[in-house]
Amino acid sequence: LLEWLSKSNESQVERLLHNPHGFGSLSRRHSRKPIIAAVDGLCLGGGMELILNCDLVVATEKSTFGLPEVSKGVIASQGGIPRLLYQSGRVLASELLLLGKPISASEALDRFRIINRVVPTSDALLPTALELAKQIISNSPSAVQLTK
């Protein structure tokens, strides 16, 4: 699959990235508003593909992330592969994709860089996500849209 991505032309990769039939149509990154995810627990497969499409991700320490599809005989076909390659780089993406093993929230933050914040408990999760949202809305709406 990594070989296919390296040989694919831009339109093939774009179709994969912007597939309108992905999970909840979130595969399309054309939202004018920032998307913030709050993860409290398992974030595997489709859930992981969803957070890879979010602008900001907050997770609890107990959260785990992964794309275990390879261990089930399928692939992460909703845009997760190219997004992970873009966000984490080929070496780390290959590790996550080819081994199919979950990673901890701290690894997702520090090593793979696919989330923005780790909070200690569920009680801190939504307040942290809302604080990020407040910081965003304190900025110029048009500047936020153009930056996104």
Residue 14 among the catalytic residues: no
Residue 95 among the catalytic residues: no
- Contact call for residues 105 and 131 (beta carbons, < 8 A): no
Active-site option among 69, 95, 107, 131: 69
Q: Name the residue type at position 127.
A: P
Q: Residue 90 gets which letter from DSSP?
A: H
Active-site option among 3, 14, 49, 95: 49
- b/e string for 71-90 if b means 16 or more Cβ within 10 A? eeeeebebbbbbbbbeebee
Cβ contacts of 130 within 8 Å, gap of 6 or more:
none
Helices (H), 19-121: 46-52, 80-88, 90-99, 105-110
Catalytic residues: 49, 69
